[in-house]
Amino acid sequence: MKILLTNDDGVFAPGIITLSSFLSSSGHECTVVAPDRERSSVGHAITLHRPLRMWRVPAGPYTADCNVYACDGTPSDCVVLALEEPIPSPAMVVSGINRGPNLGDDLTYSGTVSAAMEGVILGCSSMAVSLNCSEKEPEHYYETAASVAVSLLDFLRDSPQAPGVLLNVNVPNLPLHLVKGVRITRKGVRLYEGKVTRLKDPSGRDYFWVSGRPEDQLVEGSDVWAVANGFVSVTPVHMDMTHFPSIETLTSGGAEKINFK
Ligand code: MN
Protein backbone atom coordinates (compact mmCIF):
# COMPACT_ATOMS: atom_id res chain seq x y z
CA MET A 1 0.00 0.00 0.00
CA LYS A 2 1.07 3.60 -0.61
CA ILE A 3 0.90 5.18 2.84
CA LEU A 4 1.11 8.78 4.03
CA LEU A 5 2.54 8.79 7.51
CA THR A 6 2.27 11.79 9.83
CA ASN A 7 2.08 12.56 13.57
CA ASP A 8 1.96 15.39 16.10
CA ASP A 9 5.13 14.57 18.08
CA GLY A 10 7.42 15.77 15.27
CA VAL A 11 9.21 14.16 12.35
CA PHE A 12 12.02 12.70 14.48
CA ALA A 13 9.86 11.27 17.28
CA PRO A 14 10.47 7.59 18.04
CA GLY A 15 6.88 6.47 17.32
CA ILE A 16 6.77 7.60 13.68
CA ILE A 17 10.29 6.31 12.96
CA THR A 18 9.47 2.86 14.38
CA LEU A 19 6.18 2.69 12.48
CA SER A 20 7.79 3.73 9.19
CA SER A 21 10.43 1.02 9.56
CA PHE A 22 7.78 -1.67 10.27
CA LEU A 23 5.68 -0.48 7.30
CA SER A 24 8.66 -0.52 4.92
CA SER A 25 9.78 -3.99 5.98
CA SER A 26 6.20 -5.25 5.45
CA GLY A 27 6.37 -4.10 1.81
CA HIS A 28 4.45 -0.83 2.13
CA GLU A 29 5.59 2.30 0.31
CA CYS A 30 5.91 5.03 2.89
CA THR A 31 5.98 8.82 2.53
CA VAL A 32 6.41 10.80 5.75
CA VAL A 33 5.15 14.39 6.00
CA ALA A 34 5.26 15.43 9.64
CA PRO A 35 5.64 18.59 11.74
CA ASP A 36 9.20 19.88 12.24
CA ARG A 37 8.55 20.12 16.01
CA GLU A 38 6.30 18.91 18.81
CA ARG A 39 2.68 19.77 17.98
CA SER A 40 0.81 17.64 20.51
CA SER A 41 -2.64 18.87 21.57
CA VAL A 42 -2.99 21.45 18.79
CA GLY A 43 -6.23 19.75 17.73
CA HIS A 44 -7.44 20.22 14.18
CA ALA A 45 -5.86 23.65 13.57
CA ILE A 46 -5.07 24.70 10.01
CA THR A 47 -2.65 27.56 9.26
CA LEU A 48 -4.29 30.26 7.16
CA HIS A 49 -2.48 33.49 8.04
CA ARG A 50 1.17 32.80 7.32
CA PRO A 51 3.04 30.90 4.59
CA LEU A 52 3.83 27.22 5.14
CA ARG A 53 7.13 25.55 4.29
CA MET A 54 7.71 21.89 3.55
CA TRP A 55 11.16 20.46 2.87
CA ARG A 56 12.77 17.13 2.27
CA VAL A 57 14.88 15.91 5.17
CA PRO A 58 17.75 13.41 4.91
CA ALA A 59 16.47 9.96 5.81
CA GLY A 60 18.65 9.96 8.96
CA PRO A 61 17.06 7.47 11.35
CA TYR A 62 14.53 6.42 8.67
CA THR A 63 15.14 3.56 6.25
CA ALA A 64 16.67 4.71 2.95
CA ASP A 65 13.57 3.82 0.87
CA CYS A 66 11.36 6.26 2.82
CA ASN A 67 10.65 9.77 1.46
CA VAL A 68 10.68 12.09 4.45
CA TYR A 69 9.43 15.70 4.57
CA ALA A 70 9.20 18.13 7.46
CA CYS A 71 6.63 20.92 7.54
CA ASP A 72 6.46 23.99 9.79
CA GLY A 73 2.68 23.70 10.14
CA THR A 74 0.26 21.63 12.19
CA PRO A 75 -0.45 17.91 11.72
CA SER A 76 -3.54 18.78 9.65
CA ASP A 77 -1.45 21.18 7.52
CA CYS A 78 0.92 18.24 6.85
CA VAL A 79 -1.94 16.12 5.50
CA VAL A 80 -3.27 18.95 3.35
CA LEU A 81 0.17 19.65 1.81
CA ALA A 82 1.10 15.96 1.44
CA LEU A 83 -2.05 15.16 -0.53
CA GLU A 84 -1.37 18.15 -2.80
CA GLU A 85 2.11 17.10 -3.86
CA PRO A 86 4.38 14.32 -2.63
CA ILE A 87 1.62 11.72 -2.27
CA PRO A 88 -1.66 12.82 -3.91
CA SER A 89 -3.58 9.54 -3.64
CA PRO A 90 -2.41 7.33 -0.77
CA ALA A 91 -4.22 4.09 -0.03
CA MET A 92 -4.15 5.11 3.61
CA VAL A 93 -3.29 8.03 5.89
CA VAL A 94 -1.73 6.80 9.14
CA SER A 95 -1.06 9.21 12.03
CA GLY A 96 1.25 8.13 14.86
CA ILE A 97 2.50 6.31 16.73
CA ASN A 98 1.65 8.94 19.30
CA ARG A 99 3.65 9.17 22.53
CA GLY A 100 0.73 8.69 24.96
CA PRO A 101 -2.89 7.65 24.63
CA ASN A 102 -5.74 9.37 22.77
CA LEU A 103 -8.73 8.04 24.68
CA GLY A 104 -12.17 9.35 25.55
CA ASP A 105 -12.36 13.12 25.37
CA ASP A 106 -8.71 13.42 24.29
CA LEU A 107 -10.02 12.98 20.74
CA THR A 108 -10.70 16.59 19.82
CA TYR A 109 -7.55 17.97 21.49
CA SER A 110 -5.32 15.49 19.73
CA GLY A 111 -3.19 16.55 16.77
CA THR A 112 -2.64 12.85 16.04
CA VAL A 113 -6.34 12.05 15.70
CA SER A 114 -7.04 15.37 13.95
CA ALA A 115 -4.53 14.51 11.20
CA ALA A 116 -6.49 11.29 10.59
CA MET A 117 -9.71 13.36 10.59
CA GLU A 118 -8.19 15.62 7.92
CA GLY A 119 -7.36 12.51 5.88
CA VAL A 120 -10.98 11.38 6.10
CA ILE A 121 -12.30 14.84 5.18
CA LEU A 122 -10.06 14.78 2.09
CA GLY A 123 -11.45 11.39 1.06
CA CYS A 124 -8.75 8.99 2.32
CA SER A 125 -8.99 5.94 4.52
CA SER A 126 -7.33 6.98 7.77
CA MET A 127 -6.11 5.57 11.04
CA ALA A 128 -4.63 7.17 14.19
CA VAL A 129 -2.34 5.01 16.36
CA SER A 130 -1.34 5.89 19.94
CA LEU A 131 0.70 4.08 22.58
CA ASN A 132 -0.77 4.18 26.09
CA CYS A 133 2.57 5.12 27.68
CA SER A 134 3.53 7.84 30.15
CA GLU A 135 6.77 9.67 30.86
CA LYS A 136 7.08 7.83 34.17
CA GLU A 137 7.26 4.38 32.53
CA PRO A 138 10.84 3.25 31.75
CA GLU A 139 9.87 1.26 28.62
CA HIS A 140 7.88 2.55 25.65
CA TYR A 141 6.79 -0.40 23.49
CA TYR A 142 6.47 1.36 20.10
CA GLU A 143 7.31 -1.98 18.40
CA THR A 144 4.09 -3.44 19.85
CA ALA A 145 2.00 -0.59 18.44
CA ALA A 146 3.80 -0.83 15.07
CA SER A 147 3.06 -4.59 14.82
CA VAL A 148 -0.58 -3.92 15.65
CA ALA A 149 -0.78 -1.15 13.02
CA VAL A 150 0.73 -3.35 10.29
CA SER A 151 -1.71 -6.18 11.13
CA LEU A 152 -4.67 -3.79 11.08
CA LEU A 153 -3.59 -2.43 7.67
CA ASP A 154 -3.55 -6.02 6.34
CA PHE A 155 -7.08 -6.45 7.66
CA LEU A 156 -8.27 -3.11 6.21
CA ARG A 157 -6.90 -3.99 2.76
CA ASP A 158 -9.53 -6.77 2.58
CA SER A 159 -12.22 -4.99 4.66
CA PRO A 160 -12.13 -1.27 3.83
CA GLN A 161 -13.89 1.14 6.17
CA ALA A 162 -17.00 3.11 5.21
CA PRO A 163 -16.10 6.52 3.72
CA GLY A 164 -15.87 9.24 6.34
CA VAL A 165 -14.87 6.86 9.15
CA LEU A 166 -11.42 6.77 10.72
CA LEU A 167 -10.08 4.21 13.16
CA ASN A 168 -8.72 5.53 16.45
CA VAL A 169 -6.34 2.84 17.68
CA ASN A 170 -4.84 2.80 21.19
CA VAL A 171 -2.29 0.16 22.13
CA PRO A 172 -1.35 -0.90 25.68
CA ASN A 173 2.27 -0.19 26.63
CA LEU A 174 3.22 -3.88 26.86
CA PRO A 175 5.42 -6.38 25.05
CA LEU A 176 3.40 -7.82 22.14
CA HIS A 177 2.96 -11.27 23.74
CA LEU A 178 1.22 -9.70 26.77
CA VAL A 179 -1.42 -7.88 24.68
CA LYS A 180 -4.68 -9.79 25.12
CA GLY A 181 -6.18 -9.03 21.69
CA VAL A 182 -8.34 -6.40 19.98
CA ARG A 183 -11.61 -4.90 21.17
CA ILE A 184 -13.81 -2.75 18.93
CA THR A 185 -14.89 0.01 21.28
CA ARG A 186 -16.86 3.22 21.69
CA LYS A 187 -15.38 6.53 22.79
CA GLY A 188 -15.23 6.49 26.58
CA VAL A 189 -15.21 9.23 29.19
CA ARG A 190 -11.91 10.63 30.44
CA LEU A 191 -12.03 13.68 32.68
CA TYR A 192 -9.05 15.54 34.08
CA GLU A 193 -8.83 16.16 37.83
CA GLY A 194 -7.11 19.35 38.93
CA LYS A 195 -7.02 20.68 35.38
CA VAL A 196 -5.78 24.17 36.24
CA THR A 197 -2.93 24.92 38.64
CA ARG A 198 -2.45 28.54 39.73
CA LEU A 199 1.09 29.59 40.64
CA LYS A 200 3.02 32.84 41.24
CA ASP A 201 5.80 34.18 39.01
CA PRO A 202 8.89 35.91 40.56
CA SER A 203 7.05 39.29 40.40
CA GLY A 204 4.15 37.91 42.41
CA ARG A 205 1.71 37.73 39.48
CA ASP A 206 -0.48 34.69 38.90
CA TYR A 207 0.19 32.26 36.11
CA PHE A 208 -1.52 29.02 35.20
CA TRP A 209 -0.69 25.50 34.06
CA VAL A 210 -3.39 23.50 32.31
CA SER A 211 -2.75 19.78 32.78
CA GLY A 212 -4.41 17.46 35.27
CA ARG A 213 -4.58 13.79 36.11
CA PRO A 214 -6.87 11.66 33.91
CA GLU A 215 -9.83 10.02 35.64
CA ASP A 216 -11.38 7.34 33.46
CA GLN A 217 -14.88 5.91 33.70
CA LEU A 218 -14.08 2.24 33.06
CA VAL A 219 -17.34 1.25 31.38
CA GLU A 220 -17.07 -2.10 29.58
CA GLY A 221 -16.92 -1.65 25.81
CA SER A 222 -15.29 1.79 25.98
CA ASP A 223 -11.80 2.67 24.73
CA VAL A 224 -10.48 3.50 28.23
CA TRP A 225 -11.77 0.16 29.54
CA ALA A 226 -10.17 -1.89 26.73
CA VAL A 227 -6.69 -0.39 27.15
CA ALA A 228 -6.87 -0.58 30.97
CA ASN A 229 -7.57 -4.31 30.55
CA GLY A 230 -4.65 -5.02 28.22
CA PHE A 231 -6.54 -4.96 24.90
CA VAL A 232 -5.86 -2.92 21.78
CA SER A 233 -8.79 -0.48 21.48
CA VAL A 234 -10.11 0.22 17.96
CA THR A 235 -12.80 2.92 17.88
CA PRO A 236 -14.49 3.77 14.57
CA VAL A 237 -14.96 7.56 14.58
CA HIS A 238 -17.01 9.60 12.13
CA MET A 239 -16.92 13.32 11.52
CA ASP A 240 -20.66 13.97 11.85
CA MET A 241 -20.92 15.24 15.43
CA THR A 242 -24.67 15.86 15.13
CA HIS A 243 -26.65 14.49 18.07
CA PHE A 244 -29.62 13.12 16.13
CA PRO A 245 -32.07 12.54 19.04
CA SER A 246 -31.79 16.25 19.91
CA ILE A 247 -33.00 17.24 16.43
CA GLU A 248 -36.32 15.67 17.37
CA THR A 249 -36.50 17.02 20.94
CA LEU A 250 -35.51 20.57 19.92
CA THR A 251 -37.91 20.63 16.97
CA SER A 252 -40.89 19.16 18.82
CA GLY A 253 -40.07 21.39 21.81
CA GLY A 254 -40.63 24.47 19.64
CA ALA A 255 -37.05 25.71 19.15
CA GLU A 256 -37.84 26.59 15.52
CA LYS A 257 -40.76 28.75 16.64
CA ILE A 258 -38.99 31.04 19.09
CA ASN A 259 -39.68 34.76 18.69
CA PHE A 260 -36.65 36.99 18.27
CA LYS A 261 -36.51 39.82 20.82
MN1 MN B 1 1.56 13.72 20.57
142 Cα–ligand 1 center, Å: 13
Centroid of ligand 1 to alpha carbon of 207 (angstroms): 24
**What residues contact 17, with CB distance under 8 A and at least 6 apart?**
61, 62
The lowest-confidence range among 84-88, 125-129, 173-177, 178-182 is 84-88
Q: What pLDDT is recorded for position 195?
A: 84
Coil, helix or strand at residue 99: strand
User: pLDDT band at residue 152, thresholds of 50, 70 and 90?
Assistant: very high
Q: How far is the CA of 200 from the centre of ligand 1 (A)?
A: 28
Instruction: For residue range 226-243, list pLDDT tens digits in order.
Output: 999 999 999 999 999 999
3-class secondary structure, 176:
helix
Distance 246 CA to ligand 1 centre (A): 33
> What is the bridge-based pairing of β-strands 213-217 and 29-35?
unpaired
**pLDDT tens digits, 51-103:** 999 999 988 899 988 999 999 999 999 999 999 989 999 999 999 999 999 99
pLDDT number for residue 237: 97
Distance CA 259, CA 239 (A): 32
**Which residue type sits at 9?**
D
Helix 142-158 to helix 14-25 angle (10° resolution) is 50
Q: Are 2 and 31 in contact (CB under 8 A)?
A: yes
Query: What pLDDT does 192 receive?
Result: 83
